[in-house]
Amino acid sequence: MTDSRVPRSRRFLVCEPRHFAVQYAINPWMHPDKPVDVDLAQEQWQQLIRAYRTHGHAVDSVEPVPGLPDMVFAANAAFVVGGRVFGSLFHAPERRPESVHYDTWFKAAGYDVHRPESVTEGEGDLVWTGRYVLAGTGFRTTREAHREAQEFLGHPVIGLTLVDPYFYHLDTALFVLDDDNICYYPEAFSAGSREVLKRLYPNAVLATREDAMAFGLNSVSDGRNVFIAPQAEALAERLTGHGYVPVPVDLSEFHKAGGGIKCCTQEIR
């Protein structure tokens, strides 16, 4: 089955963790009293970039800015489909300045950037499936932002409600495997949202809470290769059984801020 999975070259936007730190607490993972090893974070991040390039993916970079320790989490800065950039308006005041620097990068690269009026956190809560947008709400991104995104992007947006504070963004509870399937942790969602996902993806790969707590769902797939936290061993085995190829990349230092592989990766479509 593995040979039938076809990888697709992607273009990613990232930000070096030069100023990464846990200076405040805006999710259950963050504890400012626990030190971050910046050198280790830099080394882990470089491993991710090497893994992407080794597998044929293009990587662009935004210059990090002093005083913005979470800017490394590039996925939260925007959502890009068909060359249209739906920007971010962060829930936490501490992160709002990040948007300006990402918007500047996109505009300089020639993209049409929409400044949202409602709270929304990019690919943290907006996930492209190839046909429509799955959109998370409950902790950060608002339902009003879902409507705003649909109007700007012209693609159907399907709202999903998150109910567990440890999985405050959609990309901590779900990721797209390919144009036909997803992987997700059902209990991170409300009962109605679980029914929606079951109808849309009856053959989805289901994850456990242990998988999710290991940041196994904060993964990136190119349709064949799945860049995944090595701590999510059981999920990696399950994905292998479905014909995908796990590519373990340890970003454990970033888990201290509630982020992982996907959080550090913005996809430009």
What residues are labeled active site?
A: 169, 263
Look at residue 144 and give its three-state secondary structure: helix
Give the neighbor-by-neighbor strand order of the sheet with 112-114.
Answer: 78-81, 84-87, 112-114
Residue 144's Cβ-count burial label (10 Å; 0-12, 13-18, 19+) is middle
> Nearest 5°: phi and psi at 74?
-60, -30
The neighbour count for residue 117, using CB atoms within 10 Å, is 10
What distances in angstroms separate CA 146 from CA 134, 167, 172, 265, one per listed residue?
Answer: 9, 18, 18, 21
Structure tokens at 114: 């929409």
